[in-house]
Every structure is written in C-alpha cells, then in structure tokens.
Structure 1
Amino acid sequence: MEGTPEVVLTIENQTTFHSEARRRTNDNVLLIYTAGMPSPSWRAMFARVLAGLPRGVPVLHWGDVDEGGFRIAANIAETARGVGHELRPFRMSPEDIPEDRRRPAADKQVVRMSAFAASAGWTDLALLLAESEFTAEQEVLD
C-alpha cells in the first residue's frame, strides 16, 4: 500500500461495499470488504495493514444492525486492538436507521446485539441497543 489513508472502513456486505467504492472513488479512504464474518486469513491481513498505519488513522466498521453484524464487529475490534488501533462503528447506531426500515427484534437478539457491541468496546452504543427493539440490514442505508 502506498501512502496513508485518511480513514480505514471495513464493510460487511458486498452491495454496500460496491456502492461505497463508487461513491468514494476520489476519497483517500481504504475500504475493505469483510465478506461477512472475517476468516483467520482476513484477520491476519487486517492486522498487518493496521500495524503499518499511524495510530491516529480512524478505523471504522459498517455492518448490519443485527446480532450477526455486531458479532462480526466484535471480532474485527479484537483484531484492531491487538495491533493498537480502536475500531469505531459507522452508521450502526439505532439512531442511524429510519423508522420505516426497522424490523422487529426478539428480546434475546437485542441482548446479544448489545453484548457484542460492548465486546467491541462500544459502551455507549451497547446502551442504545439495549433500549432498541429492532434490527436492520446495512443495505437500507445505501
């Protein structure tokens, strides 16, 4: 990789990844597609990329606002922490989801979403999720 990106953004879903790649063509952003849950080899690549970046470069993750999305985020956050970076959420707050795009969630799903957000280090978001009663696919924000 040549140069230093202004931001690193991992994206869970392929459709959103492609739309962001088109939208951000002229931006100094490193977009990385996770293909859902990152594999061990993906995590090793990600750790090597982050290890080569200054600590001040923001590292963000954009995934589904559901149990799987936050489980993936917690996994990626662990990798980022391992090389001295902090993963932050991007457009994953309940406040980011328009009401007409929300799907009802079972209480157990909400509890697990909140727990995974806390595991990612996103305490404030975990509290918001604990009060939410819905999920949403990432594509609803495209």
Structure 2
Amino acid sequence: MGRHADLLPPRLARALRKRFDLPNAPPREALAAFGLEKFPQPVLLRGSLCLPGGKLLDGRPYVGVPPEWLETLAVAGRPEYFLVIENLASFNRHVREVEDSSIVLYSGGFPALATLKAIRRMDALLPADVPFFHWGDIDADGVRILQHIARSIDRPLRPHLMGVDAWSDAAVDELCRHLADPAFVPMEQEELDPQSPLAGTPAQWQ
C-alpha cells in the first residue's frame, strides 16, 4: 500500500476513521487497523518467547515477530505483566531501562491488525492473574487506542502512567473525565520516564 495510503478517497478515509473511532488517525494507520497492508510490519516484542518448532528466544531488548508466526507463538515461563506501549521512544526506553520478566509490545499508535492479533494471542496464552497494561499518550486518541484494545481482549486493560490510578476499576472513566475538563492539558508519553506498572501493586496482585 505504501505511499498510496495517503491518497485514500476522503470518503473511505472518513469511514475507516469512524469505524475505529480515531478521527485523527493517518490513512495508513486506518488501513493497517483493517488489515489492508501489502506487507504487514513485524510485531515488536520484549520477553521470553517460544518460537515455532519449540526454539526458545530471549527477546531482549526486543525482537520483531513476523505476522505469520503469531498463531503459534508461545511464552516461555510466566511473565510478571503484559504491557502495550503506544510510542516507539517510550517502548525503546522501557525495554532497556526496566528489567523484569514482563512481556512488552509496541503498538505503533493505533494497532495494526497483526499487532492486535498478537495482543489477543497473549490474552489467550497468559494466566488470568497476569495483569495487562497500556501506556499511551494522555489525550483523546490515546484513550481511544486503550479502549479499542480493551474491547478486543477478555481481561481488564489498565492505563499505565496515564494520570489515573491503574488499579481502580473506574480508571478509564476517570481518564475520560479529565479529558473533558477544559483546563486539561494533553501529555505525550515521551515526557515521562518508564517504570514498572507493578510499582505500588495492590496486595491481591503481588
């Protein structure tokens, strides 16, 4: 699709943005979310993985997983948590600066279909008590991305470093209220230093 993604007919571009509730998404992101890519990008992951054929891979600082491997991808061991990171700079910092047994995935903004399949794969593979987090920009699109991913999995997706208590069941609603406040100032996640989502973990998750 390449550079032609930017030449989408306006009506189609609007339809794709409306479908995914991302009014500001570039045409290329909208196409990728719908799976319309000639060559899907590899999914960037940090963690201990089991590749097709049973080969173990310590993916540090991270590895690029071809979309064709996603259906048979497995996890070696039990990760402390699973974290989706929207921004590439924040992803690169987290995988290098936060040392733990987590699995960390780069969403690339609004997740492409292959990326969403990887997230669903992790949801299906990992034990129910492994918490899932999303670290995105503190703005309207960041919340929409979080909500889209949350609707795609079967466990809670908690906002990490997004200005609310990640462990509150009302965290996303609170974040939406902040965004509706005229005095609210959006913040890009690059402005924050990475840290483990398990810092200050409630007792039931320890």
Query: What amino acid is the match of 2:77?
Result: G
In structure 1, runs of 5+ residues without a counterpart are 96-119
- Name whichever structure is richer in helix by fraction: 1
Question: Paired residue for 1:56, among 108, 129, 134?
Answer: 129
Larger RCO (CA under 8 A, 6+ residues apart): 1
Q: CA RMSD in A?
A: 2.0
Aligned-pair identity (%): 37
CA distance, structure 1, for counterparts of residue 171 and residue 115 of structure 2: 21
The TM-score, its normalising length taken from structure 2, stands at: 0.51
1:89 alignment counterpart: 159
CA distance, structure 2, for counterparts of residue 64 and residue 121 of structure 1: 15
CA distance, structure 2, for counterparts of residue 46 and residue 127 of structure 1: 27
What secondary structure does 2:162 align onto?
coil
CA distance, structure 2, for counterparts of residue 13 and residue 7 of structure 1: 18
Post-superposition Cα deviations, 1:85-109, rounded to whole Å, max 9, x if no partner, equal 11000011169xxxxxxxxxxxxxx
Is the 1:65–1:137 contact (alpha carbons within 8 Å) kept by the matching residues of 2? yes
What secondary structure does 1:65 align onto?
coil
Q: 1:30 to 1:141 in 2, by over 3 A?
A: same
Greater shift in the superposed pair: 37-46 or 121-130: 121-130
Question: Paired residue for 1:2, among 49, 52, 76?
Answer: 76
1:137 alignment counterpart: 188
Q: 1:94 to 1:50 in 2, by over 3 A?
A: closer
Count of equivalent residues: 114
Correspondence list, 1:70-85, <5 A: 70-80=143-153, 84-85=154-155
1:35 alignment counterpart: 108
Q: Which runs of 4+ in 1 moved over 6 A?
A: none
CA distance, structure 1, for counterparts of residue 140 and residue 150 of structure 2: 15
Greater shift in the superposed pair: 70-79 or 120-129: 120-129
1:65 alignment counterpart: 138
CA distance, structure 1, for counterparts of residue 113 and residue 191 of structure 2: 29
Is the 2:178–2:184 contact (alpha carbons within 8 Å) kept by the matching residues of 1? no
What secondary structure does 2:152 align onto?
helix
CA distance, structure 1, for counterparts of residue 139 and residue 177 of structure 2: 15
2:173 alignment counterpart: 123
1:114 alignment counterpart: none
2:87 alignment counterpart: 13
